[in-house]
Structure 1
Amino acid sequence: MDLTVWRRLRFALLTLALLLTQVAFAQSAPSVIGTRAIITTWSDPLEALGTLSADESVTLSTTVTDIIAEINFSDGEQVEAGQLLIQLEDAEEQAQLRASQALREERRNASNRSSQLQERNLAARADVEDSQSRLRQAEADIQAIEAQLANYQIKAPFSGRVGFRNISVGALVTPGMNLVTLDKLDVMKLDFSVPEVFLGRLSPGLMLNATTAAYPDEIFSGEIATIGTRVDPVTRSINVRAELDNANGRLRPGMLMEVVVQQHVRDTIVIPEAAIEPSGDRHFVMLIEQGDDATRLTRREIVIGERRNGEVEILEGLSAGDLIVVHGLQLARDGQEARLIGITDDETGIRALLEADR
């Protein structure tokens, strides 16, 4: 036999054997792993960077010049609204108050005597009115001194945490001098900006999550409280303020936080991204239909929505609880019987099912 003919015949036989092997391989039931389409809360995340500030913050100072007599707080102490923090020397003002109080008593007695005499027609009405006027003047003087004395006491305007104490008893303080900071930290304000194109998607009450490098494994939840009234004409962005609960006091003013706003929150069907077969601009999944005698695969077209972290939102084509192929898609064919190795869930993944099937 001619060598060329022999080679052609050998090639034809090898090709036929390969085709037969492929047909047999295609007809054999593939092993697949399934997962169920679930309904979960979904949102379109909007990311930004924000800075924390205290819910209330103030730097306490005095309006008078005098010497510190008492300091009633320690560094970082939690204080209550109205608590006396710093007392200045007020001996001279206290003496003036006592003198004014004595004068008020004297004029009150004089007014009472004038009233009694006038009732017996022994004093003129004008004298009674003059004595009452002098009494009111004395009471006004006392009120003025008491108002001055209030300036010698530095009290907490609200409950919060004081900062470092950089003053000492005996130090001379002057008006406007910074004495101590006070911050209300049980609720924190988170300010960030977003592009103006997202303005229509934002509204007060919208939920968000925030993370910080200080606590990388913790997520802080809050909600949008206020949306700015103006768009920056240079950056074309708008300022947004959110509020975060800080009951444990871990957050501090000035912290940089990564913000993810949960916009367009809805309940939707979600499946793993690995379960999708793209074909041009269309998408398909392999549905697993379990019967009494066999498990059969059915190819189904779906319409997808947003994607995130290996998951895909399904808009059309699947219902909650549908079982689809998530592993073994390469060998799965429409209408083919398959061997179901197992179904993934929150506790069992693909790797665990494959190892158990060995």
Structure 2
Amino acid sequence: MAFPNSLLDFTRIHQSVIYTSHHLALGPVLYCSREGFMKKFVIAISVGVLLVALAIVAVKGSQIMALIKMGESNQMPPTIISATEVVSQEWEQSLKTVGTLEAVQGVVVTADLPGRVTEILFKAGAEVRAGDVLVRQDITSEKAQLRAAEASVALAKSNLDRVDALYNKKVSSKSEFDAADARYKEAVAQADNIRSMIDKKTVKAPFAGRLGIRLINVGRDLGTGDAIVSLQAVDPIYVNFSLPQRDLPKISLGLKVRLTTDAVANKVFHGELTTINPEIDPVTRSVRVQASLDNKDLSLLPGMYAKLDVVLPEANKVLAVPATAISYATYGDSVFVVAQEKDEESGETKQVARQQFVRLGQRLGDFVAIEAGVSEGDTVVSTGVFKVRNGAPVVINNEAQPEFKENPQPADS
């Protein structure tokens, strides 16, 4: 250890010793005070955080309660809808089916006798009258045969006249007269047969109608029964269809029939029931029926498929609403009936929509029949059903309501 060299160094050493001794004496005390202070600090911080959390909960709770009170006092604005009254209508009853059109008279013109075609006097698709000549066949051979037959007729007539004169003078016998008369009649019949053959080789239209596609050409050798052209009389025109046997008591001759077909768009043809088959098909248990329709513009053709309505004489009385008033759902179809209700707090009367489940019937145009669930005179929501809720206030505005029809005719755009 080095000794101090002066008084100043001794003083410094003394102070250092005193300082060290002081700290060694106060160290445990200072450590204990610091630990207590930290515990108090943590407790104070926890209490502060708890108080802040309670304050936040109190503020938010008061805000939520205020919003709840505000929601209870406020009301949703009424929904604007269109409404219509449930009315009683008389709808016609009809039997719907499908059928096939058939010409009143239709035939494929054929050759009666074999022969070569020498002349065709018609155009495919033309209208012809009964008796118009369509085709001529070669008749040169028949003409020659006819000249020979006519000569035989003349000879037989001369013989008959001579025998008749002799018989009147009692010179000839009755048997000779009968033989001469028979030969004359045979010659006449032979000539008539040849004339008939010549006439049959001139093919004529058996009735008035429209011709089809030509099936022959000039120079063709026709055989007996070979087809020449189709001829159809289509004004009026028949439609054949079937109805179940359960509908047989409902139909009778003279009932009105409406027909539509996709071949003639946006047009309805009218006719009447003309024939009811006197027997039931044992396989299908249905009865075949035929109706006659006017076809002045010849737009209906044989073989066409058509949809039919057989109009029954008695009308059906129903309660009808527009189809847009129906709310369709898997658990049941419903409508919204507009009712008047009084507000208990304000005392004012307001209109509300009440959901009413219904049983639907048949459809006709834009309307649907209601079999149960509403009464005549009820007001139902006709448009805007999708935005209405049960018990919601509504306001009726029919300015934009569409026109509902029993027989709508949509125009092509």
* 1:307 maps to 2:363: yes
Change (3 A) 1:182 1:147: same
Q: How far 1:326 moved relative to its partner? A: 1.3
AA in 2 matched with 1:104: V
Residue 272 (structure 1) aligns with: 322
Q: Aligned partners of 2:328, 2:229: CA distance in 1, in Å? A: 63
Shift of 1:119: 4.0
- Which of 101, 123, 129 in structure 1 is aligned with 2:150? 101
Give the structure 2 partner of residue 130 of structure 1: 179
Evaluate the alpha carbon distance shift between residue 9 and residue 242 of structure 1 in structure 2; reply closer, same or farther with a 3 A threshold. farther
Alignment partner of 1:64 out of 86, 99, 113: 113
Question: In 2, Cα distance between the equivalents of 1:11 and 1:99?
Answer: 126
How many correspondences in the alignment? 331
Residues 322-342 of structure 1, C-alpha deviation per residue, up to 9 Å, x if partnerless? 7644135527869x8955545
More strand by share: 1
- Please name the residue that 1:89 is paired with: 138
TM-score by length of 2: 0.62
Q: SS of the counterpart of 2:64? A: helix
Q: 2:72 aligns with which of 1, 10, 19?
A: 19
When normalised by structure 1's length, the TM-score is 0.69
Structure 1 residues 82, 126: closer, same or farther in 2, change over 3 A?
same
Q: Which one has the largest radius of gyration?
A: 2
Q: How does 1:208-247 map to 2 (within 5 A)?
A: 208-212=258-262, 214-220=263-269, 229-230=280-281, 245-247=294-296
Which consecutive unaligned segments of at least 5 residues does structure 2 have? 1-53, 341-348, 406-413
1:199 to 1:18, Cα distance in 2 relative to 1, 3 A: farther
2:297 corresponding residue in structure 1: 248
The answer as to 2:207 corresponding to 1:158 is: yes
Aligned identity (percent) is: 22
Q: How does 1:168-247 map to 2 (within 5 A)?
A: 168-188=217-237, 198-201=244-247, 207-212=257-262, 214-220=263-269, 229-230=280-281, 245-247=294-296
Pairing of 1:278-357 with structure 2 (within 5 A):
281=332, 283-284=334-335, 286=337, 304-307=360-363, 310-315=366-371, 317-319=374-376, 324-327=380-383, 330=388, 339-342=396-399, 344=401, 346=403
How far is 1:88 from its partner? 0.9
SS in 2 for 1:179: strand
Which whole-Å CA distance do the structure 2 matches of 1:308 and 1:133 have between them?
78
Contact in 2 for aligned 1:34/1:288 (Cα 8 Å): no
- Unaligned runs of 5+ residues in structure 1 are 349-358
Higher RCO (CA-CA < 8 Å; seq separation 6+): 1
- Equivalents in 2 of 1:337, 1:164: separation in Å? 67
Asked if 2 retains the 8 angstrom alpha-carbon contact of 1:268 and 1:314, the reply is no
Single out whichever of 6-15 and 215-224 deviates more from structure 2. 215-224
- Matching residue's letter, 2:70: A
Residue 121 (structure 1) aligns with: 170
Structure that is richer in helix per residue: 2
Say whether 1:37 aligns with 2:87.
Answer: yes
- What amino acid maps onto 1:146 in structure 2? R
When residues 18 and 32 of structure 1 are mapped into structure 2, their CA distance, relative to the original with a 3 A threshold, is farther
User: How far did residue 312 of structure 1 move?
Assistant: 0.6
